[in-house]
Amino acid sequence: MAFISRPINLTPSNLSSFLPIISPKPSTPRTHIQCKSDENSNLDQRKPKQPMNNPSRHPRKKQSYGASRRSVIKKSFAQEQVEFTAPFSSDPVVGIIGGGMSGLVCALYLEKRGIKSTVFDTGIHGLGGRMGTRIIDPQPLIFDHAAQFFTVTDSKFAELVDLWSKKGLVRQWHGAIGELEAGGHFVPFPPTPPRYIGVNGMRPLAESILSETSMVNVVRPCWVSKLEPYNGKWYLSEKGKPCGHFDAIVVAHNGKCANRLLASSGLPLIARQMKRLHLSSIWALLAAFEDPLPIVSTESAIPFEGAFVKKIDSLSWMANNTAKLSGLQSKGTQCWTFFSTAAFGKQNKVPQESVPSTTAEKVKEAMLEGVEIALGLQKDSLKRPFYSRLQLWYGAALPTNSPGIPCIFDPHGRAGICGDWLLGSSLEAAALSGMALANHIADYVQSGGTCPDEFAVGLHNEFQPLKGHDIGQFPGLDSEEQINEAYDLQLTM
Ligand SMILES: Cc1cc2nc3c(=O)[nH]c(=O)nc-3n(C[C@H](O)[C@H](O)[C@H](O)COP(=O)(O)OP(=O)(O)OC[C@H]3O[C@@H](n4cnc5c(N)ncnc54)[C@H](O)[C@@H]3O)c2cc1C
């Protein structure tokens, strides 16, 4: 997929290139639920009584969070399309479900356009989703346990990164990054394009994105488990507990959780696009060693800090997070983040919530053995870490296919999707998607909502496979050849 390296503002005038082909007869039978705002209604606005799409009138089986993927798919094909026809409120509020890079940037850009929002996120430790940083006290040991660094190719994203840089939230990572082959052969990448990191890790960056906003409300931890259209608004709730009502909603997360949420929401087209997405599984091993790892030096005699590992099944990336975040030290504790390949993740998939201890031990040993092979060390010669933590990104790691469009928006249902997978598999892609959806919603609100069909985006786009490393794309860093190689590796392993 070609990475889009220019800002895209979806407006009615340039929309044609993103407009779906709307067949006169949708393949899925659609009935429309009119969802007009009723100013004179004496019904309690806080508690939806659901005259339309009302579970109490047409009782549905209670959604089970253990529902199989099959039943989720069946439900989302059968659901009715919700249709909001009343004009937008003069002071609309958008509900954003997901506080990763895409949801946070969407909220930021809605504010820039004068629109209020509330961001809901499940994060117990903080916002950020796959921009997670784990801090283990008392030492403390610090690891970025998903996104490691990012590159910048788009001018709109560059503006944002410049701003973060001026505020001291991000800085360049000058450590050597490159490719590592079994046996310890390290080939550094050229120093450009610059690689950026969160100054104190990725999570603090995520936590700061909305710090200067005045029109954004953040609710965390909160797992939005139901969306219900009623009386011209979307009502959100968490296991029966109301989370408020909104003029439009943004789904800024993906995977199984999003499929379940959308399965009976009244948004069949959005639900169908979400279901087409495939995500890889990756094991992450966070390991702290008493002493520096015996790593090979680069040509300039400086040990590498990050490496894409080649041709080792259990390892696709290793990074010295201590050197990255605190500077290279020749002595003392080092915190390393290791990621498996997607192929290894698939071979060793287990339920994320209850990883059997035997699997955990097997995976950890295989990954540490991978480290030994990568560094050209004798088997069992690597000193064991004094702290380690294993995490499985189970079917939730990186998108492997994409509709290649900045955002998806259903104007009849006043609902949109943003996320990395719309454009690629990187923080840059996630941020661009959030910006695009915010601007699109703002344009729609400004238009008065009178010509909804002009604002339908991405509802029918076909998906294409995504190319990139097992841990995503780094636009500008790799040559097309390298990307293809990395991709072929994923497919053949
Ligand atoms: C192992 C790994 C390594 C990576 N390395 C890099 C890298 O080095 N560089 C790079 O650019 N990219 C990397 N990526 C990709 C990058 O992390 C993602 O592209 C980006 O963070 C995605 O942001 P997002 O907003 O689309 O989604 P997410 O970050 O997934 O955010 C979604 C948020 O929604 C929340 N949520 C889900 N369901 C609900 C609900 N029902 N209610 C409320 N909240 C909900 C989640 O908890 C989460 O916080 C990596 C990813 C992984 C998994």
Mean pLDDT of the 327-342 span = 90
DSSP notation for 131-190: S-EEEETTTTEEEE-S---B---SHHHHHHHHHHHHTTSEEE--S-EEEEETTTEEEEPP
- Least confident span in 52-56, 181-185, 327-331: 52-56
Distance CA 218, CA 111 (A): 13
For residue 17, the tally of other CB atoms under 10 A from its CB is 8
Alpha carbon distance 268, 379 (integer Å): 53
Most confident of 69-78, 100-109, 292-301: 100-109
The predicted structure's pLDDT at residue 62: 35
For ligand 1, atom 33, name the residue with the nearest CA. 98
User: Is the Cβ atom of 265 under 6 angstroms away from ligand 1?
Assistant: no
pLDDT at 6: 33
Q: How far is the CA of 428 from the centre of ligand 1 (A)?
A: 12
Does 86 have pLDDT greater than 50?
A: yes
The domains located in the chain, with CATH, are 15-40+65-127+209-277+400-462 (3.50.50.60), 133-202+280-397+471-492 (3.90.660.10)
Q: What is the pLDDT of residue 338?
A: 98
Query: Which pLDDT value is given to residue 329?
Result: 74
- 350 versus 149: the higher-pLDDT residue is 149
- According to the model, what pLDDT value does residue 300 have? 59
Ligand 1 atom nearest 397 alpha carbon: 53
* pLDDT at residue 28 tops 90: no
Among the atoms of ligand 1, which is closest to the Cα of residue 284?
1
Which is nearest to 458 in space by CA: 427, 430, 436, 431?
436
pLDDT of residue 481: 52
Look up the pTM and report it.
0.85
In this prediction, residue 351 carries a pLDDT of: 82
Is the CB of 425 within 6 Å of ligand 1? yes
Using the 8-state DSSP alphabet, how is residue 453 labeled? G
304, 321 contact by CB (below 8 A):
no
Q: Which residue has the higher pLDDT, 486 or 15?
A: 486
Q: Would the CB of 409 count as within 6 Å of ligand 1?
A: no
Residue 39 has pLDDT above 90, yes or no: no
Name the phi and psi angles at 231, rounded to 5.
55, 40
Give the per-residue pLDDT at 330: 72
Range 166-183 average pLDDT: 96
Find where tokens 């990954």 sit: 367
**By CB neighbour count within 10 A (0-12 exposed, 13-18 middle, 19+ buried), where does 98 fall?**
buried
Determine the pLDDT at residue 79.
84
For residue 61, the model assigns a pLDDT of 38
Q: Which residues does residue 82 pair with via DSSP β-bridges, in sequence order?
A: 33
pLDDT over threshold 60, residue 179: yes
> What are residue 220's DSSP bridge partners?
none
pLDDT for 139: 87
Percent of the chain with pLDDT over 90: 74
pLDDT band at 19 (very low <50, low <70, confident <90, very high): very low
Region 404-411 average pLDDT:
98
Q: Is 100 in the pocket of ligand 1 (CB under 6 A)?
A: yes
Atom of ligand 1 nearest to the CA of 145: 1
Binning pLDDT at 50, 70 and 90, where does residue 82 land?
Answer: very high
Residue 387 alpha carbon to ligand 1 centre in Å: 25
What are the tokens at 198? 């969160």
With a 6 A CB cut-off, is 430 part of the ligand 1 pocket? Answer: yes
Q: How far is the CA of 96 from the centre of ligand 1 (A)?
A: 15
Report which of residues 307 and 19 the model is more confident about.
307
Is residue 435 within 6 Å of ligand 1 at its C-beta? no
pLDDT at residue 58 greater than cutoff 60: no
CA distances from 454 to 34, 38, 132, 247, 367 (A): 19, 25, 38, 19, 51
Tens-digit pLDDT profile for residues 206-260? 999 999 999 999 999 999 999 999 999 999 999 999 999 999 999 999 999 999 9
The closest of 60, 371, 9, 114 to 363, measured between CA atoms, is 371
- Quick check: 68 pLDDT over 60? no
**Alpha carbons 178 and 398: distance in angstroms, whole number:** 21
In this structure, the strands spanning 241-246 and 233-238 are antiparallel
